[in-house]
Copies of this chain bind each other. A is one copy, B any other.
Amino acid sequence: MIVIKVLHSGPAGSAGQNRENIRQHNLSIIMNLLYKGGTLARSQLTSVTGLNRSTISDLVVELEELGIITQSEAVTSGGVGRPSLSVSPSDSIVAFAVNPEIDATTVAVVTLSGEIVDKRRYPTQIQPAAQEAAKIAGQLIKDLIKDLPAKTRIAGIGVAVPGQIRIDDGVVRLAPHLNWIEAPIAAMIQQETGLPTWVDNDATVSCMAERNFGSGRGASHCVYLFAGSGGIGGGVVVSGVQLRGAAGYGSELGHIQIFDSKKTDFSGLPGTLEALVKRDDLLEAFKLFGATDDELDVEIANTKDQKVIKLINNQLDNLGRGIGVLATIFNPQIVVLEGFLDSIFKFNKERLLASVHASSLSSAHDGLVVSSGELGTRAVLVGAAGLAFAPLISNPSGTEIYKLSKVSA
């Protein structure tokens, strides 16, 4: 049992704390632990939070009455003394995760414990307009609801979009690959479904998912790099908090300039990480146009072509430099790679690490772990659902949850 003593770290916000806040805070702490940790014993909650046994009992009962957690009789024994009750997030609480991409829109049902229980993918010929994507998402959600148990309750909808998002009002300021400009996607989907909807950048939410449930579990400082057909996206966790920037447009890690090259990325900036580590270059080398990430992964793992190997090595060197820059800035415990970045990493880990070491101070990369993502394509969906769970977790007793009938057929 690890007892974590948290001093008053972080910023002293300007808000005073009153009696209601204290209760809300403690309920939130427990929900947060259960969300990330899954099933925990009540005795664990006691020692981790530092709260009294009786207090934990009281709080857990309240959460149980709210229907967002369940208690089960002592699961395992193993130690002396009376066995502690197990507490789990309720499987009846779900959120819908929506991910519009160039060639398809995907919707998933994700439980409060971070599991994907169902999924629908709707392919499109060309990239859908925002209104169209909203309609598709609405229809898929209605389809998914038919297969859900009647007792299921819904926290809301989380949307992950490859672009720059104003999270305050859920408007996509610019999504270059989808060709969306100033698209109020949250309002559109909310209109279609009647459910509260939140939006954020796809890499940002994936980062959070890997941090909560994947390779970055427990890391206070984590850098996440994701690459697919839509360029390189990034997410950063600093002191346990997602980096968003003053206006919400931060952590665009694909667009940091690291070399003099004339090669430009999708946004027109030269010499950026995205310009120099390009998926299309690999596809061209393999003559594999339109391949999925999985197909590309297999191809990379098995290639013997010296020309291709040279290309991959070059990309590894460039990626390593980018990671080096990020390590120098953030000094993270872990850098998580996803998509084809992970494929080339697995092809030659030593080369990437050597490049990272060559382009950062030893203090920054000492003890740094570079790792593949654990969640793969699930990250973006689990992360998007997390957007919808966030209000419930931060204020369990004051957040509405909806019945299936809330969504009109």
Contact = CB atoms under 8 A, between A and B. Distances in A.
Contact of A8 (B33, B258, B395): B395
A10 B8 contact: no
Interface string A244-264: 111111111101111110000
Interface string A318-338: 000100111011111100000
Given A241-B10, A243-B238, A267-B361, A250 B330 contact: yes
Given A256-B329, A329-B250, A364-B249, A16 B12 contact: no
Contact of A10 (B11, B17, B256): B11
A359 interface: yes
Given A253-B329, A331-B247, A12 B29 contact: yes
A374 to B, nearest CB: 19
Given A25-B17, A260-B260, A11 B241 contact: yes
13 contacts: A8-B28, A12-B29, A14-B29, A16-B29, A17-B29, A18-B51, A164-B363, A173-B363, A245-B330, A245-B332, A249-B363, A252-B331, A258-B258
Contact of A247 (B240, B324, B326, B363): B363
Interface in A248-291: 248-253, 255-260, 267, 269
Interface SS, A side: loop
A367 interface: yes
A11 B6 CA distance: 12
A13 B10 contact: yes
Nearest to A367: B247
A183 interface: no
Contact of A11 (B51, B240, B252): B240
A24 interface: yes
A266 to B, nearest CB: 11
A48 B247 CA distance: 23
B330 A174 contact: no
A25 B395 CA distance: 20
Interface pairs A-B: 8 shortest CB-CB: A245-B331, A250-B331, A16-B49, A16-B51, A11-B240, A6-B15, A249-B363, A12-B32
A361 B252 contact: yes
Given A221-B250, A247-B367, A15 B5 contact: yes
Interface string A133-151: 0000000000000000000
Contacts of A15: 4-6, 29, 49-50
Nearest to A219: B246
Contacts of A220: 246
Given A250-B329, A257-B325, 14 more contacts: A7-B394, A8-B24, A10-B13, A12-B25, A14-B48, A16-B29, A17-B29, A239-B241, A245-B364, A251-B329, A252-B329, A255-B360, A259-B259, A269-B359
A323 to B, nearest CB: 11
Interface in A181-230: 219-221
A393 interface: yes
A118 interface: no
A357 B211 CA distance: 32
B29 A324 contact: no
Contacts of A257: 258, 321, 324-325, 359
